[in-house]
Amino acid sequence: MKTLAINAYSFSELKGEAKRRAMEWINDATFSDSFWSESITDDAKTVGGILGLNIEAIYWDQDLNITLEGRYSYARGWKKALKAYAPIDKDLPIIGQELQNLQKKCNWVYSATIRQSWKNSISIESDYPESDDNLASVIKSFCQWASHNLQSEANYLESEEYMKDMADANDWLFDEKGRIIR
């Protein structure tokens, strides 16, 4: 039996190519699963529900553009619920107000089925077809909001800050070339 002495480095101690290699390993070990996106899509479904969007399915493409399918109808009390759930978000109150303005034009009875394709075209079925284009525009804004959140999370998960936090939390050590030891 031989005993080898290997210098072990924390992520913060790595430099240059060794740090890049360690980041690749951490990225492969943590970011490659699809579970990271669940919190973002769950949040979009919750916010959608507050705004009156009953999201039945939500998808994203390789560019992290979100599309959805579901139903829309007015949600009483959306402002108070939204303020409690997302008090600092600036975009969601605008989206909610656009939906409320649409409802007001339709005497508060507008409801619709929403289908969206990957090419960002939205199909709306409702009893007020003259308002369907307005709803499609608001749905696009909502999807852009959700896509932005998904992209922000992906950017964070690829950041050096996240890699350091993961390595520290898991007590990972690396050799001088950035290969995982433990």
Tens digits of residue pLDDT in 149-171: 999 988 888 888 988 998 999 99
Rounded Cα distance, 28 and 5, in Å: 27
Q: Classify burial at 178, counting beta carbons within 10 Å of its beta carbon; exposed 0-12, middle 13-18, buried 19 or more.
A: buried
Residue 73 lies in a domain: yes
Residue 135 lies in a domain: yes
Residue 18 lies in a domain: no
Global pTM reads: 0.82
Residue 124 lies in a domain: yes
At residue 34, the pLDDT reads 60
Return the SS3 of 31. Answer: coil
Range in 45-49, 52-56, 172-176, 178-182 the model is least confident about: 178-182
Write out the residue range of the structural domain in which residue 77 sits. 35-157
Residue 15 lies in a domain: no
Residue 69 lies in a domain: yes
Residue 1 lies in a domain: no
Number of domains in the chain: 1
CA dist 25 to 12, 21, 42, 120, 122, Å? 15, 6, 28, 35, 39
What does the pLDDT average to over 101-107? Answer: 94
